[in-house]
Amino acid sequence: MATMDYSGRIPNNVNLDEDRTLQRALEHWQPHFLSWWRNMGPEGSTDLDVYLRTAVSVEPQGWAHFDYVKMPDYRWGIFLNAPEPGRQVNFGEHRGEAAWQEVPGEHRANLRRIIVTQGDTEPASVEQQRHLGATCPSLYDLRNLFQVNVEEGRHLWAMVYLLHKYFGRDGREEAEALLQRCSGDADNPRILGAFNERTPDWLSFFMFTYFTDRDGKFQLCALAESGFDPLARTTKFMLTEEAHHMFVGESGVSRIIQRCCQVMNELGTDDPARLRAAGVIDLPTIQRYLNFHFSVTIDLFGADESSNAATFYNAGLKGRFEETKRDDDHRLRGRNYPVLVGQDGRLVEHEVPMLNALNEVLRDDFIRDSISGIGRWNRVIEKAGLPFRLQAPHKGFNRRIGSLAGLRVSPEGRVVDQAEWARREHEWLPSAADLAFVGSLMGRVVEPGRFANWIAPPATGINRQPVDFRYVRFN
């Protein structure tokens, strides 16, 4: 295992200084990245000192490094988990062969596509979140936003390293293109739909980090099983950073719920109008945001029947979530899996070959994981003694991708006609008025220890610091 070189221009544990061509290529890309960060990264953040966690090694203790950093000086680098001796391809047709240290020629195009698609989401979310600093509810939250942003930046580095190292000129061109596409741009948008949506307010940000970064977790987990060993080791390391993003989302939404419940009890009301007048986000509005982010995110897993998914699996490029913990033949031939289709105005299950349904398998794993977190949000409401419960909408609700795309399905899973959908859409999804209301609450709070009225303080600070610690210093 290469030791961490933290002294060069690009911190890394891949012996970058021994591969001068690659080093030069990445050093050439670095100023382009920094220029992208300055133009598209967090707005107005260049001179701030931010209390950030920087991974300084891939060992557990390497995560314990916290200090004030100016974000453009963040040590974005290339870190791969330690290699697992004797690792094999653990699924698909190549199962049992030694894991690949180079890209197999026949899978080159598919692997590049997988890496580019993953890589594209990283800068996209930074772009989506770039204005949020102006309306942060506290210094603590501002710091968490910036931590998410720099880690997305590092994830981009992780993918760009693979492109440069293993895909030659094509890879270098793809790496440049990752900095040129732009979230929400009409002419050159990001690859996946959810990454072109706006993140207009902090409730959206927390929902995004809860749901959409959880898609990231599941994708990374599936890639961490890859037979292409450098990809597996890269994504394994990324997962620890991704976990922080989901923490920001889960705790952020939880604190908004907690604050709402507190005011509901103080005022003795569940009337959204009164709660809104009191400056908190009512639970039905939170439910509508949840419905939106849940449905947009589950589209990210792709079509429910996909020959690409089968190819990726058969070829050993992308496994299932916790592939090696599953007790089956890891080839899946002859196995079926149920997917939902619309039939005569109803949703019915339809068995398809599991290999073709692997997107659906991953989506279902994601849904289970998401629902258990929603259960933890409900415990906050329960603890406040209130009867309301949040729910994940049905898998068919508001889908734009896959066989359910053309259908109108209610959050309970009932197929509805266009007229009912049009009539009730704003019961189910945030309306312009909801967005305007939540937007109206967004004001900047930057005194240490103070929190905006619509969100409760967190239970603990970062790195055992107190909650009123000066997590960001303005210079």
Partner 1 sequence: MDSSETRLLRQHLIDPEICIRCNTCEETCPIGAISHDSRNYVVDPAICKSCLACVPPCPTGAIDNWRTVLRAQAWPVAEQLGWDTLPAGETVGLMIATQQAQPADDDAPPEPPALVPGATRAPASAAQPCVNLYSPRNPATATVMGNYRLTDATSDSDVRHVVLDFGATPFPVLEGQSVGILPPGVDEHGRPHHARQFSLASPRDGERPGYNNFALTVRRVTVDHAGQPAYGVCSNYVCDLKKGDTVQVIGPFGSSFLMPDDPRANLLMVCTGTGSAPMRAMTERRRRRRGDGASGRLVLFFGARSPEELPYFGPLQKLPKVFIEIHFAFSRLAGEPRRYVQDVIREQAAGIGALLEDPQTCIYVCGVRGMEAGVLEALALAARTRGLDWEVLQARLRQEGRLHLETW
Establish if 466 lies at the interface with partner 1 (CB under 8 A).
Answer: yes
Q: How many residues bind partner 1 (CB under 8 A)?
A: 33
Measure the CA–CA gap between 346 and 422, rounded to whole angstroms. 19
Q: Which residue in the set 5, 369, 416, 424 belongs to the binding site for partner 1 (CB under 8 A)?
A: 369
Q: Which residue, chain included where needed, has tokens 């000129």?
A: 169
Which region, judged by CB under 8 A, interacts with partner 1, from 18-26, 304-312, 419-427, 454-462? 454-462
Instruction: Please report whether residue 385 would count as binding partner 1 according to CB under 8 A.
Output: no
By beta-carbon proximity to partner 1, the closer residue of 19 and 468 is 468
**Which of 60/86 has CB closer to partner 1?**
60
Among 3, 7, 61, 418, binds partner 1 (CB under 8 A): 61
Count how many residues are written for the chain.
Answer: 475
Rule CB under 8 A: choose which of 21, 31, 464, 475 binds partner 1. 464
Q: Does 421 bind partner 1 (CB under 8 A)?
A: no
Kindly report each contact of residues 434-443 with a partner whose C-beta sits within 8 Å and lies 24 or more positions away, as own/partner.
434/285, 434/288, 434/289, 435/200, 435/201, 437/276, 437/285, 438/201, 438/203, 438/204, 438/281, 438/285, 438/289, 439/200, 439/201, 441/201, 441/279, 441/281, 442/135, 442/201, 442/202, 443/135
Q: Which residues inside 175-194 make contact with partner 1, applying CB under 8 A?
A: none
Q: How many CB atoms lie within 10 A of CB 413?
A: 14
Q: Residue 383 CB, nearest distance to partner 1 (Å)? A: 8
Residue 60 as a binder of partner 1 (CB under 8 A): the answer is yes
Distance separating alpha carbons of residues 114 and 226, to the nearest angstrom? 11
CA atoms within 13 A on the CB side of 87: 19
User: According to the binding rule CB under 8 A, does residue 467 interact with partner 1?
Assistant: yes
Sequence-distant (6+) residues with CB within 8 A of 404 are 304, 340, 341, 342, 347, 395, 396
What's the rounded Cα separation, in Å, for the pair 72 and 194?
A: 27
Tokens of 62: 């390497």
Q: What would the two tokens of residue 372 be?
A: 């258990």
User: Please, which residue, 108 or 470, has the CB nearer to partner 1?
Assistant: 470
Q: Which of 3, 372, 418, 475 binds partner 1 (CB under 8 A)?
A: 372
163 close to 115: Cβ distance less than 8 angstroms: yes
- Shortest Cβ 153–partner 1 spacing (Å): 17
Tokens read off for 22: 């690659």
Q: What is the distance between the alpha carbons of residues 362 and 304, in angstroms, rounded to a whole number?
A: 10
- Taking CB under 8 A as the rule, does residue 323 contact partner 1? no
The smaller minimum CB distance to partner 1, of residues 53 and 363, is found at 53
Which 195-254 residues touch partner 1, going by CB under 8 A? 217, 239-240, 242-244, 246-247, 250-251
* Phi/psi at 132 (5° precision): -65, -25
Task: Tell me which of 373, 393, 411, 430 binds partner 1, using CB under 8 A.
Answer: 373
462 binds partner 1 (CB under 8 A): yes
- C-beta closer to partner 1: residue 55 or 347: 55
Classify burial at 267, counting beta carbons within 10 Å of its beta carbon; exposed 0-12, middle 13-18, buried 19 or more.
middle
Q: Is 72 in the site for partner 1 (CB under 8 A)?
A: no
Task: Say how far apart CA 445 and CA 141 lie, in whole Å.
Answer: 10
Binder to partner 1 among 2, 64, 82, 277 (CB under 8 A)?
Answer: 64
Our finding on whether 384 is near partner 1 (CB under 8 A) is no
457 binds partner 1, rule: CB under 8 A: yes
Which residues contact partner 1 by CB under 8 A?
60-64, 217, 239-240, 242-244, 246-247, 250-251, 369, 372-373, 376, 379, 449, 457, 459-460, 462-470
